[in-house]
Structure 1
Amino acid sequence: MKSKVIAIANQKGGVGKTTTAVNLGAALARRGERVLLVDADPQGNLTSSLGWPNADELDVTLATHLAAAIRDADFPPRAGVLSHAEGFDLMPANIDLAVTDIELVTAMCREEAMRSWLDGIKGSYDRVLIDCMPSLGMLTVNALAAADSVLIPVQAQHLAAKGMTELVKTISRVQRKINPGLAIEGVLLTLYDVRTNLSKETEAKIREEYGPRLKVFKTKIPAATKIAEASAFGESVFVHDGRGKGAVAYEAFAEEVVARGKRERDTLRPAVAR
């Protein structure tokens, strides 16, 4: 299986990017995939939610690798990788990444730093998931430049569809100017409350507006307390509440992601090999 890099992005905060990175990564690892999660947010929420709350004390983080790429310095790409008990790996982040974000603005080949590092490590994994910060700055552009596809979590609440417009424009610009192979993996509805008309109306609007040109996943991630609680214990929802509706939803979502990847591989397979 060829390694696939998926950036999880939305410039709006609180839409479940980090939660999706953790639980999709865990679900894929449970299926036997080799998975690397990359924390690309200076706040380090992914790092802390996986059980490393003192990220500022780590000697090597994503910032270290991006700084080396900016300076074209030789640095071991696997340095600093942390192994989680649930069978996947993490490249952590801390506040140092905020400085790197500023340095990227004036760096040569500034959009290429993350791709440069990932090219040296992604071959060890089946899937790499990049948890992007809630902005469309240089770190997010770096993630898009390094990715094969973008997963867009969208909160099933008011103005969610409107907030997607700028992100889709940014993705289009990256496709045209930096990474022509970048695709949109799909849109994932999160924090969905089946009891409210608002969630249902948001879903209908997104499927109507974006469904004809983008994949909108069938699975909807519920607004479930157990999903939020899991991060406080440094674990996925599968360990924290394995029979709950959150675990069921993320398992179903992983199934969709895997099935989508299989269809892509079948489509790309040369006719002579069929």
Structure 2
Amino acid sequence: MIAVETLVNRPYVEKVCQVAPVLTIVNRKGGAGKTSAAHNIAGVWGTWGIRVCLVDLDTAFNLSEACGYPEELRVHGGAWLASGTPEPWPVPNMPNCALVPSGAQLASGIERMEKLAIDRERYLGKILTPLRHRFDVLLLDTKPDLDISVTGALAAATHVLATALTLPQPIYGVVRSLGLVDDLREGVPDLKVIGFLPMAYNTRGLRPAALGSLVEMAQEYGVTCFPPIPYTEHVGKESQTHVPVALTYRNAPVGQHYRYAAALIGDHLGLTVPTEWLDRGRRLQEQMMEEVLGT
């Protein structure tokens, strides 16, 4: 575990000439795994020495809660969006990770974005730019919506990841979110959709038919369908312990699969990830494609 003081005072001189990638996680449907994916992937990256800045853009502030952001600070949490001065909060139980929190004030920041006369979609990217010189990657968790905060998160991104439960509604949520990405293409031509991350949230597990639909949709869009994250009964404990499931249960299937996903996604972003996990992830992905498509 890294001390808070260590992260706060950590020098960033070596990265000053580089600009970190920004990964925005989306799905129009709520409960589709966005926050769990952000929390766990960031946690894994941090253990690999990657400096991660999480940005909670959901007014439900579940990511802030999962990271252990103090309850007494949440009444002022999210004020950074209106002020334009995001200040990362070091996450005590996640090495090399910091959080730009949400809270009761985030909604007023979204209202300010809506009222901007020009470039309101680019406002978020502008105020997050200084953080791209201090961290290796920014990871944005969005709300289940298509409002200006989600539009701004996409305009600020270099890469997009869509999470989805293997159920019809979350998959439709992916389609809606990708429609918004397409609408932004003219203004953000270099925005890359890296793929879909299937997840299971209940004991019914991953539904093969729905997983097959995601794989086929990924092929249609020319993106990757990553190996799925299996169900874990411990997922609800994230908000209680403030430690990602991927770290607490690192030797369980869910912990291993989050490492595969973190390695594959990190490689898409140009991050330095362990070769062992990247190779394993690629083999698992090939196996999934063979099983789903029957090739």
Shorter-chain-normalised TM-score: which range?
Answer: 0.7 to 0.9
- Asked if 2 retains the 8 angstrom alpha-carbon contact of 1:48 and 1:234, the reply is yes
Which position in structure 2 is the counterpart of 1:269? none
**Compared CA separation, residues 105 and 35, structure 1 to 2 (3 A):** same
Identity percentage over the alignment? 23
Measured after TM superposition, the shift of residue 55 of structure 1 is: 5.8
Counterpart among 197, 207, 214 of residue 188 in structure 1: 197
Instruction: For 2:263, give the aligned amino acid.
Output: E
**Compared CA separation, residues 249 and 55, structure 1 to 2 (3 A):** farther
SS in 2 for 1:38: strand
Counterpart among 111, 118, 124 of residue 121 in structure 2: 111
**Compared CA separation, residues 105 and 195, structure 1 to 2 (3 A):** closer
Which position in structure 1 is the counterpart of 2:83? 68
- Asked if 2 retains the 8 angstrom alpha-carbon contact of 1:193 and 1:199, the reply is no
| Unaligned stretches of 5+ residues in structure 1 | 70-74, 264-274
Which position in structure 2 is the counterpart of 1:179? 188
Which position in structure 2 is the counterpart of 1:233? 241
CA distance in 2, matches of 1:138, 1:100: 10
- Asked if 1 retains the 8 angstrom alpha-carbon contact of 2:38 and 2:141, the reply is yes
- Asked if 1 retains the 8 angstrom alpha-carbon contact of 2:19 and 2:132, the reply is no
Which position in structure 2 is the counterpart of 1:45? 62
CA distance in 2, matches of 1:40, 1:173: 20
- Asked if 2 retains the 8 angstrom alpha-carbon contact of 1:82 and 1:92, the reply is no
Measured after TM superposition, the shift of residue 245 of structure 1 is: 1.5
Which position in structure 1 is the counterpart of 2:106? 97
CA distance in 2, matches of 1:129, 1:106: 25
SS in 1 for 2:55: strand
Measured after TM superposition, the shift of residue 52 of structure 1 is: 2.0
Which position in structure 1 is the counterpart of 2:155? 145
Q: How does 1:4-43 map to 2 (within 5 A)?
A: 4-43=21-60
Instruction: For 1:258, give the aligned amino acid.
Output: G
The normalised TM-score by structure 1 is: 0.84
CA distance in 1, matches of 2:92, 2:64: 11
Instruction: For 2:57, give the aligned amino acid.
Output: A
The farther-off stretch of 88-97 and 211-220 is 211-220
- Asked if 2 retains the 8 angstrom alpha-carbon contact of 1:15 and 1:191, the reply is no
Instruction: For 1:67, give the aligned amino acid.
Output: A
- Asked if 2 retains the 8 angstrom alpha-carbon contact of 1:55 and 1:94, the reply is no
Which position in structure 2 is the counterpart of 1:126? 136
- Asked if 2 retains the 8 angstrom alpha-carbon contact of 1:38 and 1:91, the reply is yes
- Asked if 2 retains the 8 angstrom alpha-carbon contact of 1:49 and 1:232, the reply is yes
- Asked if 2 retains the 8 angstrom alpha-carbon contact of 1:157 and 1:202, the reply is yes
CA distance in 2, matches of 1:80, 1:240: 24
Instruction: For 1:31, give the aligned amino acid.
Output: W
Aligned residues: 252
- Once the two structures are superposed, residues 193-230 of structure 1 have per-residue CA deviations (whole angstroms, 9 ceiling, x without a partner) of 7966x710001112123323232333101121123323
Root-mean-square deviation (CA), in Å?
2.2
The farther-off stretch of 85-94 and 100-109 is 100-109
CA distance in 2, matches of 1:23, 1:172: 28
The farther-off stretch of 242-251 and 129-138 is 242-251
Measured after TM superposition, the shift of residue 35 of structure 1 is: 0.6
CA distance in 2, matches of 1:86, 1:26: 6
Counterpart among 153, 156, 176 of residue 166 in structure 2: 156
Which position in structure 1 is the counterpart of 2:231? 223
Measured after TM superposition, the shift of residue 160 of structure 1 is: 3.4
CA distance in 1, matches of 2:260, 2:19: 22
Instruction: For 2:126, give the aligned amino acid.
Output: S
The farther-off stretch of 115-124 and 185-194 is 185-194
Which position in structure 2 is the counterpart of 1:72? none
Measured after TM superposition, the shift of residue 163 of structure 1 is: 2.8
**Compared CA separation, residues 100 and 195, structure 1 to 2 (3 A):** closer
CA distance in 1, matches of 2:19, 2:116: 30
